[in-house]
Chain A
Amino acid sequence: MKIPFPRQLFRPGPSLTFHSTAASQAQRWSSSLSQKAGSAGVCFPGAVNSKFTNAMTFEQPSTYPAIPTYRCTSPDGDIIDSSVALPSNDVALKMYENMLAVSIMDMIMFDAQRQGRLSFYMTSQGEEGTCVGSASALEDGDVIFSQYREAGVFMQRGFTYEEFMSQLFANGKDNGQGRNMPVHYGSKALNIHTITSPLATQIPQAAGAAYALKMQHRQNPSTRPRVVACYFGEGAASEGDFHAALNIAATRSCPVIFICRNNGYAISTPTLEQYRGDGIASRGIGYGIETIRVDGNDIWAVREVTKRARELALKDGGRPVLIEAMSYRISHHSTSDDSFAYRARVEVEDWKRRDNPITRLRKYLENNNLWSDEKEANARKRLRGEVLKAFGEAEKEKKPPLRAMFEDVYAELTPEIKAQMKELKDMLDRYPEEYDVTEFEGGKESLST
């Protein structure tokens, strides 16, 4: 006999369904009640709803249908799930502009890196929909953890061009104090934690943060309940931290939305060498987490799914939800990567032609008489101008004071670090020709204690 539950749940359909193990969860006891003789069920504490069987069968992953991919907008921009609550025209237009802005900024900054004007950049071509769409469904108070390819999330939340550019040029206006590599954005005002490069570390942090938010709301019910949204790639999901995160979030019922951007690649490694299961979504089921797979090129589907996930995450005291957003990484991994060393140019061209979150939303807007070629041309020109203006200003800006190198390691400078700062200052004083400190705010003087 085959265990029927996943089959029943994995029924593909046009409607938005989260795959859930809630039913089995609800009946799970922590105590080990011994079963009656002859009962059909097993009461092992580790699997309370399992039935006995005398037919020995190994579960065959290949016999389970793949988890379907939800979409509500056709490639032609028509709405195919009428139950979806679409945003107002103004919001739709703003979201379109935000995707456009990310793609324009990507082109400009990619070229700027090629010209040697900044050290590094990462584009998010093909994933603008996943980021802008999901962020549009969150509330301002919600806390976000991201990986590095989520410029759309920052854009949708209101990160300004000046903030983007200050970070990219590591100037004195950058909160990161010139310490971080380009694209490691962060904003306390927007409740987005600063990005770090080590993969997957943010995922268990998101679970913990969600637990803290849950406890705060419990202790102070007059506050608005909040969730944590956590972004990561399908490659990062191979890290131990991913698995630890899902499991701990499930067991502690944390209001966290895990959003996996499955773009088919982790640098050169294709998903075929990354995992053998049904994507990342199938793992959610394994951890007892409500899960959905969504078409990342369909911004309305991503938005709708995230809205629903947010409701679920806050229901009955909180629980994690997993969203797997499917897309294709059109761009190179980063400016340090030439992806044609490991994938065919035609594969990329093919995907570019096939689908794209920006063109799909554009078709929707055009179908609704909200957009035109002329508006497109004007918007592109305006956005380009805005990005370039911020670019020019940020590039000219002074770098942070040199002292920032030593600060924030500890809440206060330790005697050791103070001595080192003095030692460096002393070197700069005695060997002025060996060091150029003019780009730093205040030159060497900021090192004086």
Chain B
Amino acid sequence: MRVTRRICSYSRAGLSNTTAKPVASYVSTQSPRPYSTNPPKARLNIPTDFSTTALLAHRPQTALQNNELPAEVRNGTTQQMNLFQSINDALSLALASDDSVLLFGEDVAFGGVFRCSMNLAEKYGAERVFNTPLSEQGIIGFAVGAAAEGAKAVAEIQFADYVYPAFDQLVNEAAKFRYKDGKAGRDVGGLTVRMPCGGVGHGALYHSQSPESLFTHIPGLRVIMPRSPIQAKGLLLSAIASKDPCIFMEPKALYRAAVEQVPTAAYTLPLSKAEILKDGFDLTIVSYGHPLFTCSSAIEKAEKEFGISIELIDLRTVYPWDKECVLKSVRKTGRCLVVHESMVNAGIGAEVAASIQEDKETFLRLEAPVGRIAGWSVHMGLLYERFNIPDVARVYDTIKRTLEY
């Protein structure tokens, strides 16, 4: 990957949670994974090596080179964190810097089932970090009300699969709050809803869903999905600060797996702005969240074997999304694939593909149909996850066929 990184010191005593024992999730992200083995002779479908992937900053200087970070952050230090630790860090910084920040949800007080809120109740008090009764509609309604009266309400939904009871509050209330109030001028920009999403190999129907498209259909909500610890920290701090209600979806497969050097200071990363992770000239791949790692592996193979270069774009915010960045790239490459984990039908890929063909200038540049590689239009059956979520072979194969078109 094309990056030059600046060297910087790596200090700061370990975060209190880096050594903590992993505990207590309904679906573990680290338990044995008997349902996801890779075949012995596979050369494409091999698990991501998170210790070497180019998508993570394995060294402090790599982390600090990031142009989106303000100078003082780039001149600061880093700390090794996985995704849940960087989220914990962001939450801690938000709670520390602004008394109006509240953090709550089911089992949040003891650290949350995925450990994202570990030690925060102890640090910031049980009045600001607390357990709610088991009711998602209650949690989000409560959060909307708190945000309406000036709180920065950060609500956790234990699994994205369980957000549906809160749909009314999100779709009819949070999304329309500013619009209905009009000149009265009130809003619930202080609302941030965090939820773990996506497959982990054994979550089946109700612990694997990635319902971002249900929210991207709703104007008024900003829908974000980070790919890495650095991204998660900056995007979450932006979401909390944002003037709009934000849905912040955390790929739970990355909670422990994605480890990188994360700048220690507080920083924000821009919302509704895509990031070009890698330049390329022959094809553009648009993705977000966990599948970016799959794309990265497929790209590595395809570039080597087909002698081409591929541009990889992380949408980061899936709505309102950075159309301009994608169109510009596709005007350059003439080919585009969209990759996501959730079902292909009416998914993010549909929106991206339609926008590309709708834009005359980009349409005329197309040399192949825009492809979508996504989950099939089925539910996430326990045994079938590895045949459902896009894998390296499917991405590789679609790259090949798109080039051969």
Starting from the known contacts A181-B205, A267-B107, A424-B376, 20 additional A-B residue pairs (CB-CB under 8 Å) come to A113-B31, A119-B34, A119-B201, A120-B31, A170-B382, A177-B381, A178-B381, A178-B383, A179-B205, A180-B382, A268-B113, A269-B134, A335-B28, A336-B27, A337-B26, A405-B378, A416-B345, A417-B376, A420-B344, A420-B376
Q: A338-B23, A431-B44, A436-B37 are in contact. Are A120 and B135 (CB under 8 A)?
A: no
State whether B165 touches A119 (Cβ < 8 A): no
How far apart sit A180 and B27, CA to CA, in the bound complex (Å)?
13
The verdict on A108 contacting chain B, using a C-beta distance below 8 Å, is no
With A and B bound together, what is the CA distance between A402 and B136 in angstroms? 35
CB contact between A402 and one of B28, B137, B382, B387 (< 8 Å): that residue: B387
Query: Per DSSP, are chain A's interface residues mostly helix, strand or loop, or mixed?
Result: loop
- For the complex, is B24 an interface residue (Cβ under 8 Å from A)? yes
CB distance from B18 to the nearest CB of A (A): 16
A431 to B44, CA, bound (A): 9
Which residues 50-81 of B sit at the A interface, judged by CB distance below 8 A? none
A residues near B2, Cβ cutoff 8 Å? none
A368 CB to closest chain B CB, in angstroms?
A: 41
Sample (29) of A-B pairs whose CB atoms are under 8 Å apart:
A119-B34, A120-B27, A170-B382, A179-B382, A180-B381, A181-B205, A181-B206, A198-B206, A238-B133, A238-B135, A238-B138, A239-B136, A239-B137, A240-B135, A268-B113, A269-B107, A269-B109, A269-B131, A335-B28, A338-B21, A341-B23, A342-B110, A405-B387, A406-B378, A416-B345, A417-B376, A424-B376, A427-B394, A427-B397
Instruction: Provide the A216-253 mask, 1 if CB < 8 A to any CB of B, else 0.
Output: 00000000000000000001101111000000000000
Q: Which of B21, B32, B44, B393 contacts A116 (CB 8 A)?
A: B32
In this assembly, does A435 line the interface, its C-beta being within 8 Å of a C-beta of chain B?
yes
In the complex the two chains form, what is the Cα distance from A342 to B121 in whole Å?
A: 13
Also in contact, A236 and B134, with CB within 8 A (given A119-B202, A120-B27, A267-B26): yes
Cβ-based interface call for B213 (8 A): no
User: Contact string, A115-127, partner B, CB cutoff 8 A, digits 1/0?
Assistant: 0111110000000
- The interface residues of chain A lying within 8 Å CB-to-CB of B379 are 179, 409
Against B, the Cβ 8 Å flags (1 = close, 0 = not) of A324-342 are: 0000000001111111011
A333: chain B residues at CB < 8 Å are 24, 26
Report B-chain residues with C-beta under 8 Å of the C-beta of A266: 106-107, 134
User: Contacts A181-B202, A240-B137; is A435 near B110 (CB within 8 Å)?
Assistant: no
Chain B contacts with A in 1-32, Cβ cutoff 8 A:
21, 23-28, 31-32
Chain B nearest CB from A272 CB (Å) reads 10
Q: Tell me if A190 counts as interface (CB < 8 A to partner B).
A: no
Q: How far is the CA of A180 from the CA of B24 in the complex (A)?
A: 21
Q: Is A274 in contact with chain B by the CB < 8 A criterion?
A: yes
Known: A180-B382, A268-B110. A198 touches B162 (CB 8 A): yes
A120 engages B109 (CB within 8 Å): no
Give the shortest distance, in Å, between B256 (CB) and chain A (any CB). Answer: 13
Cβ contact within 8 Å between A178 and B110: no
Q: Which single residue of chain A is at the shortest CB-CB distance from B29?
A: A336
A179 to B387, CA, bound (A): 13
Are the C-beta atoms of A197 and B37 separated by less than 8 Å?
no
CA of A78 to CA of B64 in the docked complex: distance in angstroms? Answer: 72
**Chain A residues, CB < 8 A from B39:** 433-436
Give chain A residues whose Cβ lies under 8 Å from the Cβ of B388. 405
Q: Which residues of B contact A255 (CB under 8 A)?
A: none
Does B42 interact with chain A (Cβ within 8 Å)?
yes
Most buried by B among A239, A338, A404, A405: A405
CA distance A180 to B137 in the complex (A): 25
Check: A365 CB closer than 8 A to any chain B CB. Answer: no
Which of B109, B134, B136, B202 has the most A CB atoms < 10 Å from its CB?
A: B134
- State in angstroms the CA–CA spacing of A177 and B204 once bound together: 12
Interface residues of A toward B: which range?
35 or more
Q: A349 on the interface (CB 8 Å rule)?
A: no
Grouping DSSP codes into helix (H, G, I), strand (E, B) and loop, the B interface class, with mixed when no group exceeds half, is loop
Residue of B nearest to A339 (CB): B24
Q: Mark A81-120, 1 if CB is under 8 A from B, else 0.
A: 0000000000000000000000000000000010011111
Taking a contact as CB atoms under 8 Å apart, the answer to whether B207 and A178 are in contact is: no
Is A238's CB under 8 angstroms from B382's CB?
no
Please encode chain A, from 185 to 215, with 1 for each CB lying within 8 Å of some chain B CB and 0 for all others.
0000000000011110000000000000000
In the bound complex, what is the Cα–Cα distance between A336 and B201 (angstroms)?
A: 14
- Known A275-B133, A433-B41; contact A341-B110, beta-carbon cutoff 8 A: yes
A269 to B394, Cβ gap below 8 A? no
Say how far A313's CB is from chain B's closest CB, in angstroms. Answer: 26
Closest to B375 in A: A420
Please tell me if A293 contacts chain B, counting CB pairs below 8 Å.
no
Report whether B24 and A338 are in contact in the complex, using a CB–CB cutoff of 8 Å. yes
Chain B residue nearest to A243 (CB atoms) is B135
Rounded to whole Å, the gap between the CB of B168 and the closest CB of chain A is 10
Q: Is B384 an interface residue (CB 8 A)?
A: yes
Q: How far is the CB of A307 from chain B (nearest CB, A)?
A: 30
Chain A residues, Cβ within 8 Å of B378: 405-406, 409, 417, 420
Q: Are A268 and B24 in contact (CB under 8 A)?
A: yes
- Once the chains bind, are B33 and A119 in contact (CB under 8 Å)? yes
- Once the chains are docked, how many angstroms separate the CA of A179 from the CA of B113? 24
A273 within 8 A of B: yes
In the complex, are the beta carbons of A433 and B205 less than 8 A apart? Answer: no
Say yes or no: is A261 at the interface (Cβ < 8 Å to chain B): no
